[in-house]
Amino acid sequence: MKPYQYDALVLGAGAAGLTLALRIPKHIRVAVLAKGSLTESATLYAQGGISVVLDKNDSVKAHIEDTLSAGAGLCDQDTVRYVVENAKRSIEWLIENGVAFTRNNDKKNDYHLTKEGGHSHRRIIHSADATGYAVETSLAEQARNAVNIDIFDEHIAIDLIKKDGRCVGAYVLNKGTYQIDVFSAKATVLATGGAGKVYLYTSNPDVSTGDGIAMAWRAGCRIGNMEFIQFHPTCLYHPDAKSFLMTEALRGEGAKLRLPPSQNSTDGKSDEGQAFLHKFDPRGELAPRDIVARAIDHEIKRLGLDYVHLDISHRDTEFIIEHFPTVYERCKEFGFDLTKQPIPVVPAAHYLCGGVVASIDGKTDLEGLYAIGETACTGLHGANRMASNSLLECLVMADAAADSITTLVTAVDHPQKIDPWDASRVTPSPETVEINHNWDELRRVMSDYVGIVRSNKRLKLARKRIDNLKQEIHDFYANHNVSNDLIELRNLATVADLIVRSAMQRKESRGLHYNLDYPDMSDSVTNTYLSLDE
């Protein structure tokens, strides 16, 4: 077992983790861990872009107001203001670090801005429809070349290490050697992303298993607003298209949601081709995501459909291919021509608004522990995140956290005498079939009972099943060697439990949380905080 010692240990190499590592001054030694390859992350797959006020007709005030309105009363106003005011600075930093954003055809000096749901202006800067790829690969290249950053890919953190009331690092499984190493640090940062894999259908990559949230929970931090799971309205519907998103920018550029052919039309007439969103919200296709996803869910259930159609075929072929090359190519692989026909889509779990309760510079309830990016819950998103505010939060928080960590590491000493990992468990990992069974059951329970529309009965059923699963997984964990899959399954069960408990606490419908037994928004506006002590 190797002891590694760093000033800052960054768990996660998406937009949040890499930005933080690069923002920290060069005299501070940083370890960046990724549990898969360095770039595999939600960031890599981000499509639409990053929200920032650049248009002369737009304003910081309007961006703040749109964010607050999407957040359905639960945003923290100071956090929203801070993030929006620092957006331009973060985008300039990305450009300095090599990110090539799409420029306007007519005015080559200006960046092209697209529009997405909830935004009152064009304010999404993007790199065609592969913004995340441009951000992640540019930052990864800079990090690989940085003298003060050591990169450990294929290393999965298992648990945080606490000593004298502080976080002093993490136990980490090296997936190449199966050794469990101690990484000690003056500051430890959770930049581990979201938890979409807790649902059966998700836009998220396999690494999004909520590890940071589960680790922080076990270390005694408060976890907030876990009931607010954002379902992206439009993921490609095809049996072989795992996790492929049809960016909201398509709707920003005029795509319509329409009903497909249906066997179950109520009045005997065919609804095929009918646009339906205006029945749910006057903003139609550009209403915030919670409304659009619920409207699709409603129509799918009402008409017994498998999917609805997303149609941009009325726009010029050249425009579509220039702005949406990734989506166009991916659709083609599945036999769909985006320029000529509507594409089948369904909502899928996409983003976690809740997470580890943290201030805007990432400080958590535990000294020495920071949480940034999607893992954190800062109050920026409230009850519903506005499109393209997530990458922005990663960038702005990472910048603020870098300042805070720089101060911290000069003020504290390296932790001494950390206990090695308890290697008394010698039984091999549970059989793959046992892990897979629990994993499938957990994700199915969450999709069936804790999806877009919830009820008291469904939440109770989910709680009962998750309790059983947690017990079984706990037994696996206590008695067997750990493996990547067992670590993730344990964390997913914890996250599922936190989502259900938060959803049961909220006796109203607000933003992304809709409960048939409490269909209205209540007058009392509260966050849901869970902690081990309760």
Q: Contact residues for ligand SIN (CB under 6 A)?
A: 47-48, 245, 247-249, 387-388, 390
The C-alpha atoms of residue 462 and residue 18 are separated, in whole angstroms, by 36
For residue 218, the minimal CB distance to ligand FAD (Å) is 12
| Residue 132: contacted member of ligand FAD, ligand SIN, none (CB under 5 to 8 Å, by partner type) | ligand FAD
Rounded to 5°, angle at Cα 109 from 104 and 110: 50
For residue 192, the minimal CB distance to ligand SIN (Å) is 18
Helical H runs in 368-483?
Answer: 390-411, 432-449, 456-479
Residues recorded for the chain: 534
For residue 416, the minimal CB distance to ligand SIN (Å) is 43
Count of residues binding ligand FAD (CB under 6 A)?
44
Q: Give Rg (Cα) of the chain.
A: 23
- Cβ–Cβ < 8 Å for 171, 421: yes
| Active-site entry in 251, 289, 458, 510 | 289
For residue 436, the minimal CB distance to ligand SIN (Å) is 29
Query: Does residue 73 interact with ligand FAD by CB under 6 A?
Result: no
Query: Does residue 364 interact with ligand FAD by CB under 6 A?
Result: no
Binder to ligand FAD among 118, 373, 379, 451 (CB under 6 A)?
373
Specify the residue, 157 or 295, whose C-beta has the smaller distance to ligand FAD.
157
Tokens of 65: 């107001």
Contact range with ligand FAD by CB under 6 A, out of 12-20, 141-149, 468-476, 511-519: 12-20
Which residue in 210, 220, 165 sits closest to 190, CA to CA?
210
Contact range with ligand FAD by CB under 6 A, out of 66-74, 268-276, 339-347, 372-380: 372-380
Rounded (10°) angle between helices 131-145 and 15-23:
40
For residue 10, the minimal CB distance to ligand FAD (Å) is 9
Specify the residue, 244 or 476, whose C-beta has the smaller distance to ligand SIN.
244
The C-alpha atoms of residue 372 and residue 405 are separated, in whole angstroms, by 12
Q: Which amino acid is at 490?
A: R
Query: Does residue 391 interact with ligand FAD by CB under 6 A?
Result: yes
The C-alpha atoms of residue 32 and residue 11 are separated, in whole angstroms, by 6
- How many angstroms separate the Cα of 443 from the Cα of each of 56, 142, 200, 292, 496? 45, 36, 5, 23, 9
The C-alpha atoms of residue 50 and residue 330 are separated, in whole angstroms, by 22
- How many angstroms separate the Cα of 171 from the Cα of each of 36, 102, 488? 16, 41, 14
- Residues 89, 93, 99, 103: what is their CA dihedral angle, to the nearest 10 degrees? 40
**Residue 378 — φ and ψ, nearest 5°?**
-105, -15
Rounded to 5°, angle at Cα 248 from 56 and 232: 130
Q: Residue 407: which residues within 8 A CB-CB, separation 6 or more?
A: none
Tokens of 394: 């990663």
Pairing of strands 343-352, 529-530: unpaired
For residue 42, the minimal CB distance to ligand SIN (Å) is 9
Specify the residue, 11 or 327, whose C-beta has the smaller distance to ligand SIN.
327
For residue 207, the minimal CB distance to ligand SIN (Å) is 17
| Residue 99: contacted member of ligand FAD, ligand SIN, none (CB under 5 to 8 Å, by partner type) | none
The C-alpha atoms of residue 431 and residue 470 are separated, in whole angstroms, by 17
| Residue 15: contacted member of ligand FAD, ligand SIN, none (CB under 5 to 8 Å, by partner type) | ligand FAD
| Residue 286: contacted member of ligand FAD, ligand SIN, none (CB under 5 to 8 Å, by partner type) | none
Query: Does residue 181 interact with ligand FAD by CB under 6 A?
Result: no
- Cβ–Cβ < 8 Å for 11, 356: no
Query: Does residue 157 interact with ligand FAD by CB under 6 A?
Result: yes
- Active-site residue 289, yes or no? yes
Query: Does residue 23 interact with ligand FAD by CB under 6 A?
Result: no
Pairing of strands 3-11, 180-190: parallel
Binder to ligand FAD among 31, 48, 127, 291 (CB under 6 A)?
48
Query: Does residue 378 interact with ligand FAD by CB under 6 A?
Result: no
Q: Which amino acid is at 441?
A: E
Instruction: Please spell the DSSP secondary structure of 371-394, one letter per residue.
Output: E-GGGEE-SSSTTSPPTT-HHHHH
For residue 350, the minimal CB distance to ligand SIN (Å) is 6
- How many angstroms separate the Cα of 142 from the Cα of each of 276, 407, 490? 46, 23, 33
Query: Does residue 41 interact with ligand FAD by CB under 6 A?
Result: yes
For residue 512, the minimal CB distance to ligand FAD (Å) is 14
| Residue 156: contacted member of ligand FAD, ligand SIN, none (CB under 5 to 8 Å, by partner type) | ligand FAD
Binder to ligand FAD among 199, 276, 336, 351 (CB under 6 A)?
351
Specify the residue, 307 or 351, whose C-beta has the smaller distance to ligand FAD.
351
Contact range with ligand FAD by CB under 6 A, out of 42-50, 321-329, 358-366, 423-431: 42-50
| Residue 290: contacted member of ligand SIN, ligand FAD, none (CB under 5 to 8 Å, by partner type) | none
Query: Does residue 139 interact with ligand FAD by CB under 6 A?
Result: no
- SS3 at position 32: strand
Query: Does residue 450 interact with ligand FAD by CB under 6 A?
Result: no
Query: Does residue 133 interact with ligand FAD by CB under 6 A?
Result: no
- Say how many Å lie between the first and final Cα of the chain, rounded: 36
Contact range with ligand FAD by CB under 6 A, out of 5-13, 86-94, 461-469, 472-480: 5-13
Q: Which residues bind ligand FAD (CB under 6 A)?
A: 11-17, 33-36, 40-43, 45-50, 131-132, 156-157, 191-194, 203-204, 207-208, 211, 245, 351, 373-375, 388-391, 394
Catalytic residues: 289
